[in-house]
């Protein structure tokens, strides 16, 4: 695998606008479906690598635009979630999924500890170390900080329809979560829910409980239905919606 071109093995995190003035810090763990050629697509047909199982469609586009609109730092993952999920604890069963939704992932079946450790060292740890260093520096400087992590979700999951346009998920950051919900619900045409399409949990999520909860930083996860992010117009629209929802909260 190491014989692949260097460009096939990017740095684990893409950092945008690290010196941005906003008190919001944006994360996008599932920004990319990139998989080094040496992994052979984990034995999947190419079409599967463009599906939600490989990345959060549209999330990177929203994050990039939102970073610019808010003048906010943003941290984007650069590898497919099928290799290792940046928003799962390393001991979670789906950290490296052998099955995602209803699709078996042959290249992840029965992998050994050496390969698990390799993926963690190359893809997971450098991403979260970069986020942690940034948060350390902000705290040392006494800068106010709130974390918003951007994701997208499928309109249907295992046959069950998901009617929401977006969800705002929070654990300890109820005030931040409810403020974002209120901002998005200013448009009465939107169906936006709290803690949908799933709940935040320390055993199933990483960024909110670790970078947020453990540090005493308000942190929320925003899920946007991915069919609404299918093109540039949709990503720009939702970046605008999020910017409008977050603008009153900056340095509030």
pLDDT along the chain (252 residues), means of 10: 70 98 97 97 96 97 98 98 98 96 95 97 98 98 97 92 96 95 97 95 95 97 97 98 90 51
Looking at the DSSP bridge assignments, the partners of residue 4 are none
pLDDT for 77 equals: 98
CA angle 12–75–229, rounded 5-degree value: 105
What is the chain's alpha carbon radius of gyration, rounded to the nearest angstrom? 17
3-state class of 238 per DSSP?
Answer: helix
Measure the CA–CA gap between 13 and 236, rounded to whole angstroms.
23
- Kindly report each contact of residues 99-106 with a partner whose C-beta sits within 8 Å and lies 24 or more positions away, as own/partner: 100/53, 101/52, 101/53, 101/157, 101/158, 102/158, 103/44, 103/48, 103/51, 103/53, 105/42, 105/43, 105/44, 105/53, 106/42, 106/43, 106/44
Measure the CA–CA gap between 133 and 5, rounded to whole angstroms.
28
pLDDT for 249 equals: 82
Looking at the DSSP bridge assignments, the partners of residue 240 are none
Q: Which CATH architecture has domain 6-249?
A: 3-Layer(aba) Sandwich (3.40)
- In this prediction the pTM is 0.96
């Amino acid at each position: 695998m190491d014989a692949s071109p260097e460009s096939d093995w990017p740095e684990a995190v893409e950092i945008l606008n690290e010196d941005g003035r906003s008190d919001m810090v944006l994360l996008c763990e599932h920004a990319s479906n990139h998989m080094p050629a040496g992994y052979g697509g984990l034995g999947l047909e190419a079409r599967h690598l463009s599906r939600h199982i490989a990345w959060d469609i549209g999330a990177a586009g929203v994050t990039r635009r939102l970073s610019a609109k808010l003048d906010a730092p943003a941290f984007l993952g650069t590898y497919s979630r099928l290799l290792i999920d940046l928003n799962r604890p390393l001991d979670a069963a789906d950290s490296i999924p052998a099955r995602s939704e209803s699709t078996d992932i042959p290249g992840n079946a029965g992998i050994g500890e050496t390969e698990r450790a390799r993926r963690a060292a190359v893809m997971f740890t450098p991403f979260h170390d970069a986020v942690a260093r940034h948060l350390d520096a902000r705290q040392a400087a006494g800068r106010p900080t709130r974390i918003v992590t951007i994701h997208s979700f499928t309109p249907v999951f295992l046959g069950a329809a998901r009617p929401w346009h977006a969800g705002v998920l929070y654990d300890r950051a109820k005030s931040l979560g409810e403020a974002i919900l209120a901002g998005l619900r200013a448009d009465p045409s939107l169906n936006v829910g709290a803690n949908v399409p799933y709940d935040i949990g320390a055993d199933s999520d990483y960024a909110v409980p670790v970078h947020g909860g453990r540090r005493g930083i308000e942190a929320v996860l925003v899920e946007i239905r991915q069919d609404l992010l299918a093109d540039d117009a949709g990503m720009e629209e939702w970046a605008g919606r999020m910017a409008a929802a977050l603008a009153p909260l900056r340095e509030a």
